[in-house]
Amino acid sequence: MSVKDIRTLKNDLRSQYKKTRANLDPKIKRKTDFEIQSRLFSLNQYSEADVIFTYVSTKIEIDTTRIIESAIASKKKVAVPRCNPGELSMDFYYINSLSDLESGTFGVLEPKPETCEKVTDFSKGLCIVPGLSFDSQGYRLGYGKGYYDRFLSRYTGITVGLCYVSCIKWQLPHGYYDKTVDILITERYIRNIESREDEK
């Protein structure tokens, strides 16, 4: 399959999973989000992590604001990204509450750089990675801009993907440099990618 064909396929899949997510009944979404969040909180890797790196969710994503608030309440450090559009890169900043956020790139809430501390140490922690879809091997389908791909290429901590079962695909197209997440969580199971074991 050519690079052009892969790009077309990925764009078609993005449209498909955006539609699937947008069509979720709000009550079912809240319940499903809660189940996914609870599975994340049950992880030893989460409990032991001093730093939680996470994106701030949009309407079609699993709600991460509860994760942020819970992590802060548990005295964990929480860091969220701020995009640098001209460079297609992003920097993470520590936040102390959701009030440290403002509308930024693509309308996503981002940390206020003038009041938040920039992260310089990425050697440890747990990173919640966004994705419209994940597959059984832990590969992700992002939004196509490459921000997280660039970040993950140098991140050495634990990575976790959160995804609805309805958006899981057996196999996604991926490139040589694409990285899998370490742990995949849906409303039905936790999958440790390395061991391929599912926990209900």
pLDDT string in tens for the chain (200-residue length) = 566 677 889 999 999 999 999 999 999 999 999 999 999 999 999 999 999 999 999 999 999 999 999 999 999 999 999 998 788 899 999 999 999 999 987 889 999 999 999 999 998 899 999 999 999 999 999 988 889 999 998 899 999 999 999 999 999 988 777 899 999 999 999 999 975 556 66
pLDDT score of 6:
78
pLDDT score of 88:
83
pLDDT score of 144:
85
Closest by CA to 135, choosing from 188, 184, 86, 71, is 184
Cβ contacts of residue 157 below 8 Å, gap of 6+?
A: 51, 53, 122, 123, 124, 125, 126, 127
pLDDT score of 45:
96
In a 3-state reduction of DSSP, which class is residue 23? Answer: coil
CATH of 3-194, one of 3.40.50.2020, 1.10.10.920, 3.40.50.720, 3.40.50.10420: 3.40.50.10420
